[in-house]
Amino acid sequence: MSNQIAIGVDVGGSHITSAAVDLKKLTIISETTFSVKVDNKAEKDIILRKWSDAINKTIVSASLMQSTNIGFAIPGPFNYKDGIALFKGENDKYENLYNVSISEELSKYLVSEETNFRFLNDATSFAVGVSAQGKAKNCNKIIAVTLGTGFGSAFIKEGIPLVNHPEVPKEGCLWDKPFKSGVGDDYFSTRWCIKRYDEISSKSVNGVKEIAKANTDNSRLLFEEFGHNMGHFMIPFIQKYEPQLIVVGGNISKASNLFIPTLNQVVKAAGLDVRIEISTLMEDAAIIGSAKLFNVEFWNKIKNDLPVN
């Protein structure tokens, strides 16, 4: 039975969430989900111990103490093939894990006798999850984007992420593609929202939730600008890939009612017919997507395309 269960782990900037997933149904097993807050500036051993706190609770609750398969949804830069963290100072998170083999180091803190690890980009994991159990379940081609601390993306065809494919940008990444005076990540992230709100309102805020809650002319203007920018940024990628659906996740998606109408308007004005939906699975999507790494058929299709930086 244990080989039909894998643990999915979603690594965020401020917390980690772990849950056991039924690989046949691709559903999260009840009472196996645990979250722990993490200081991403802490020392290596402290971070790994915090991660293990959540994962060990899942291991015990799912009775996987003998052998555990663990799939990680984790942001880059990361060597996904070898399980080595490549976070540096400019990433402003988990710098003390730089060049650390997560497989080797984390296993020291886990209660399972045997552990097997696999790793996938967090936005890709989200996309795989929504293709398996979310809004995109019956869609052939989708683009998934995650809007939060950073700007994540993945291009999915028949449930498989396209990494090296002529129809998609390299590794399915949009964050580094040129836009206006910078790249996508400069405009579709929390830091842009905070900075731009300060520019137009002369008010400092800590996050997007505060801006959405303000419900002022300035906050509405910001989200309209966000949707307008995103629409124009996405148009060439939609034209080339021709997805049936764009699925949006991440914390900024919680304010979707404030920017999706403008995004839709811009895309439709370009003559493009594509649905744009907000994922309701949230981090469950990334957990399901990362656990699916232990589905043999899925793994065989993606294992040779895993990014190494």
pLDDT digits (tens, 9 = 90+) for 237-265: 999 999 999 999 999 999 999 999 999 99
Q: Which residues contact 235 (CB under 8 A, 6 or more apart)?
A: 266, 267, 270, 272
Is a pLDDT exceeding 70 seen at residue 90? no
User: Which CATH number is associated with domain 135-280?
Assistant: 3.30.420.40
pLDDT tens, position by position, 5-17: 999 999 987 889 9
pLDDT score for 162: 93
- Does 89 have pLDDT greater than 70? no
Q: For the residues 188-198, what does the mean pLDDT come to? A: 95
pTM of the model as a whole: 0.92
Residues of the chain with pLDDT > 90, as a percent, come to: 82
For residue 283, the model assigns a pLDDT of 83
Measured from the Cβ of residue 180, the count of other Cβ atoms closer than 10 Å reads 11
Tokens for 243? 């997805």
Cβ–Cβ under 8 Å, residues 29 and 93? no
Strands (E), the chain: 5-11, 15-22, 27-28, 34-37, 67-74, 78-79, 84-85, 114-121, 141-147, 151-157, 160-161, 178-179, 182-183, 245-249, 275-278
User: Looking at residue 307, what is its pLDDT?
Assistant: 82
State residue 282's pLDDT score.
81
Domain 2-125+284-305 has what CATH class? alpha beta
Q: Identical fold at 2-125+284-305 and 135-280?
A: yes
Please give the average per-residue pLDDT across 57-63, as a whole number. 96
| Average predicted confidence (pLDDT) for the chain | 93
Please compute the mean of the pLDDT values over residues 86-115 and round it to a whole number.
Answer: 88
Give residue-wise pLDDT tens across range 128-184: 999 988 777 888 999 999 998 889 999 999 999 998 889 999 888 999 999 999 999
Q: Is the pLDDT of residue 218 over 60?
A: yes
Domain boundaries, the chain: 2-125+284-305, 135-280
